[in-house]
Amino acid sequence: MTMFESRSLPYPLVEVVQVSKSFGAREVLREVSFRVQPGERLAVVGRNGEGKTTLLRILAGLLAPDSGRVNLPKGARIALHDQRPPLEVAGRTLEQYVAEGMADAIAAEVELAELEARMEAGEASPEVLGAYERAHATLERAGGYQWRSWMTRVTRGLGIPDARLQDPLAVFSGGELTRASLARALVARPDVLLLDEPTNHLDVQSTEWLEDAVAEMGCAVVLVSHDRYFLESIATGVLELDGGRSKLWPFGYSRFRKERALALAIQLKEAERTAAEIARLERFVERWKAGTRSRQAKSRQKRLGRIERPHVNRTARSLAFGFPTVVASGRIVLEAHGATVAVGDRVLIANAEVIIERGERVALVGPNGAGKTTLLETLIGLRPPSTGRIGVGHKIDLSYYSQHDQDLRGDRTIVETILVETALTRTQARTLLGAFLFPGDLAERRVADLSGGERRRLQLALLVARGGNLLVLDEPTNHLDAESREALEEALDAYAGTIVIVSHDRALIDAVATRTLAIEDSKLVSRDGGWGDLLQARAEERADAAAIRAETARTRPVPKNGGVAATSATPKTKVAAASRHNGARSAKGGTGRRVRQLETKINRMESELAELHDQLIDPDVLRDAARVSELGERHRQVQKDIAWALAEWEDAAEDAGA
């Protein structure tokens, strides 16, 4: 049995040495080894079921490996974001649950307050002073008094409204609880951060915030994700799991994909050469084992026993499929005129004007809760608009892929599901399922026993079997591994019909969409192109708006009451001019000035904090209990002031568009 070992090292480090893990007869991990230094971010990749989540749980200490060991520095703090929502939800608010990630900081705060009270009462023993120094160091390591500001920044960044922080956990959905789990892991500011599918249930804006936050934290990170944009942005190295084996690729995700493709080509070529040699030797042995050349046949038989079969990465067996030929529809496929989409009294989208024509590939984008799925269901007639008109064109044969799979009956087998839901024969169904990686006996498994990724593959198989000239897809890549996502992209790229898709997968949108419909402030905004084109268009729109504000400020007349008009010398115009220059930032004059004032204030307080810290570790000062108490109180107050100033700065910077 392997145990976690602690070692006193000058820096955090994860070291995994020949870790193996089996579940029954199935070996999930076989002698996996790697190291992660501070600041390195290792992406663990592989097909569904290859042991990625198992590895993270071993690193977190939740599972024990069968053999091998995990080495961690003494005192290293580890935080795991599990893709499963928390099970114990009674008796806590969401804020209390998230704050559990800062238990060390909260406990240190309480201890410091108690120790300072004792020192003010005259206690100055070495034990008290030592406890004070240790508690102070613990708080500093956990982020100091700024931890409250950091927690607010995290919850807002992940799209958790301030107004819901005091709600009990029991009222939140599974997706919301998963986001809370991610927030709890991030606020901990650990030395080692373990992330299992962190972008699930995040909209694109929150995902982009997460990318910046994880890079800024600077800790060692081990992450599992199928989001290729996220992996490209975050990963500094890749650990590939395949059939229990592991291979470390010491570079980013895109280069990993290229290098692995080259390595796979070499593997396949070597496997073909070895197979040909084995076949040649077997023919010789079979022909001459009882003849005049039996001695040579025995020699060849021994050589066969010594040949090592090369390992071929199982990802060579990839998902591959295509959609059937479509019958052309009318020119107008879907349309909405003056349509209002609402849930209860809440208006999600007002006065929508949409026309989708034959052959278009339209991506609906927007933050969580904006109404993407509701709009999708309204456009295809599953729910009526509150006002306005919805129309479906002529000769439309629609296939709808829901992000929910409640329609899949768990008591049926995979092949039974295809036969019941489609007009395919058993032979055709078997052929189709083989293309979706359900060959032979695998097709006889019950739907209830399938993983999330396998259920998604079955849904894709049903989509292909049904065909149609209009595909309406709601989050089709959820739970799919990277190879399956790419196979879906290729199939959609070759598809000749019309596509309407809701997805947070930026790579899929870039690969498929020819137009985006973005929900912005309850309005639909249409732009040409994919995700990259959308970002560029938004940046240009912000720059144009900033330039207009700057020009308005420059030409504004002097007020008749003798006030001073804004000129090119005012902070407002300077900020707008800077916005014109870089094309991506804008600010209002008052808020821009406030941002600069707060930055100056924070710098001044941080300088004072550094001076106080130096005094608090001075041996001469530590001998004076009254002085330590006085400096400690001031140190705490300055940290609190910085925390409040940082929160105010973030609000001002957001208002300024900085």
Assess contact for 531 and 506: CB atoms under 8 A: yes
Q: How far is CA 561 from the centre of its chain?
A: 55
Q: Alpha-carbon distance 496 to 397, whole Å?
A: 13
pLDDT at position 397, please?
A: 92
Average pLDDT over residues 378-399: 92
Q: Which residue has the higher pLDDT, 554 or 399?
A: 399
3-state secondary structure 44-67: EECCCCCCHHHHHHHHCCCCCCCE
pLDDT at position 545, please?
A: 80
Average pLDDT over residues 238-248: 91
Over 90: is that where the pLDDT of 195 sits? Answer: yes
pLDDT at position 557, please?
A: 56
Closest CA relative to residue 238, chosen from 225, 256, 264 = 256
pLDDT at position 566, please?
A: 37
CB crowding 462-495: b at 16 or more within 10 Å, else e = bbbbbbbbbbbbbbbbbbbbbbbbbbbbebbeeb
Average pLDDT over residues 234-256: 91
Q: Alpha-carbon distance 462 to 37, whole Å?
A: 45
Q: How far is CA 296 from CA 88, 278, 302, 304, in A?
A: 70, 15, 10, 12
The amino acid that residue 193 corresponds to is L
Q: How far is CA 570 from the centre of its chain?
A: 42
Average pLDDT over residues 363-391: 90
pLDDT in tens, 515-541: 999 999 889 999 999 888 888 888 888
Please work out, in degrees rounded to the nearest 5, the angle formed at the alpha carbon of residue 449 by the alpha carbons of 444 and 450. 85
Q: How far is CA 489 from the centre of its chain?
A: 19
Q: For the chain, what is the largest distance between any 2 Cα atoms, rounded to a whole number of angstroms?
A: 119
Q: Alpha-carbon distance 583 to 656, whole Å?
A: 15
Three-state DSSP class for residue 451: coil
Assess contact for 329 and 396: CB atoms under 8 A: yes
pLDDT band per the 50, 70, 90 thresholds, residue 378: very high
Q: Alpha-carbon distance 442 to 433, whole Å?
A: 9
The amino acid that residue 380 corresponds to is I
pLDDT band per the 50, 70, 90 thresholds, residue 568: very low
Average pLDDT over residues 113-139: 78
Assess contact for 509 and 489: CB atoms under 8 A: no
Q: Alpha-carbon distance 34 to 36, whole Å?
A: 7
The amino acid that residue 431 corresponds to is T
Q: Which residue has the higher pLDDT, 186 or 115?
A: 186
User: With pLDDT > 70 as the criterion, what percentage of the chain qualifies?
Assistant: 86
Assess contact for 453 and 480: CB atoms under 8 A: yes
pLDDT band per the 50, 70, 90 thresholds, residue 143: low
pLDDT in tens, 18-46: 999 998 888 899 999 999 998 899 999 98
Q: Which of 41-45, 69-73, 446-450 has the highest mean pLDDT?
A: 41-45
Three-state DSSP class for residue 517: strand
Element (H, E) at 4: strand 4-7
Cα pseudo-dihedral 432, 437, 440, 445, rounded to 10: -100
Q: Alpha-carbon distance 185 to 223, whole Å?
A: 13
Q: Which residue has the higher pLDDT, 311 or 103?
A: 103
Give the contacts of 84 (CB within 8 A, at least 6 positions apart): 178
Assess contact for 286 and 298: CB atoms under 8 A: no
Q: Which residue has the higher pLDDT, 233 or 602?
A: 233
Q: Alpha-carbon distance 379 to 391, whole Å?
A: 8
Structure tokens at 369: 């809760």
Please work out, in degrees rounded to the nearest 5, the angle formed at the alpha carbon of residue 648 by the alpha carbons of 643 and 652. 145
Over 90: is that where the pLDDT of 453 sits? Answer: no
**Helix 103-120 with 126-141: angle, nearest 10 deg:** 150
Three-state DSSP class for residue 553: helix
Average pLDDT over residues 557-577: 39
pLDDT at position 42, please?
A: 96
CB crowding 628-639: b at 16 or more within 10 Å, else e = bbebbeebbebb
Q: Which residue has the higher pLDDT, 284 or 565?
A: 284
Q: How far is CA 597 from the centre of its chain?
A: 35
pLDDT at position 8, please?
A: 40
Q: Which one-letter DSSP state was computed for residue 436?
A: T
pTM for this structure? 0.68
Give the contacts of 549 (CB within 8 A, at least 6 positions apart): 572, 576, 586, 588
Beta-bridge partners for 346: 343
In which residue are the tokens 């070291």 written?
15
CB crowding 338-359: b at 16 or more within 10 Å, else e = ebbbbeeeeebbbebebebbbb
pLDDT band per the 50, 70, 90 thresholds, residue 576: very low
pLDDT in tens, 321-366: 788 888 999 999 999 999 999 988 889 999 999 999 999 999 999 8
Q: How far is CA 250 from CA 40, 59, 69, 256, in A?
A: 10, 20, 22, 8
pLDDT at position 593, please?
A: 67
Q: Alpha-carbon distance 454 to 469, whole Å?
A: 25
Three-state DSSP class for residue 561: coil
User: With pLDDT > 90 as the criterion, what percentage of the chain qualifies?
Assistant: 29
pLDDT at position 571, please?
A: 33
The dihedral sign for the CA sequence 52, 53, 56, 61: negative
Over 50: is that where the pLDDT of 581 sits? Answer: no
Over 70: is that where the pLDDT of 558 sits? Answer: no
Question: In whole numbers, what is the pLDDT of the chain averaged over residues?
Answer: 81
pLDDT band per the 50, 70, 90 thresholds, residue 108: confident
pLDDT at position 76, please?
A: 85
Please work out, in degrees rounded to the nearest 5, the angle formed at the alpha carbon of residue 14 by the alpha carbons of 13 and 15. 115
pLDDT band per the 50, 70, 90 thresholds, residue 577: very low
pLDDT at position 457, please?
A: 85
Over 50: is that where the pLDDT of 573 sits? Answer: no
Phi and psi at residue 165, in whole multiples of 5°? -65, -30
Average pLDDT over residues 641-646: 76
Q: Which residue has the higher pLDDT, 119 or 30?
A: 30
Over 60: is that where the pLDDT of 657 sits? Answer: no
pLDDT at position 473, please?
A: 92
Assess contact for 488 and 461: CB atoms under 8 A: no
Over 90: is that where the pLDDT of 614 sits? Answer: no
Full DSSP string of 66-90:
SEEEEEEETT--EEEE-SSPPS--T
Over 70: is that where the pLDDT of 103 sits? Answer: yes
Phi and psi at residue 80, in whole multiples of 5°? -115, 125
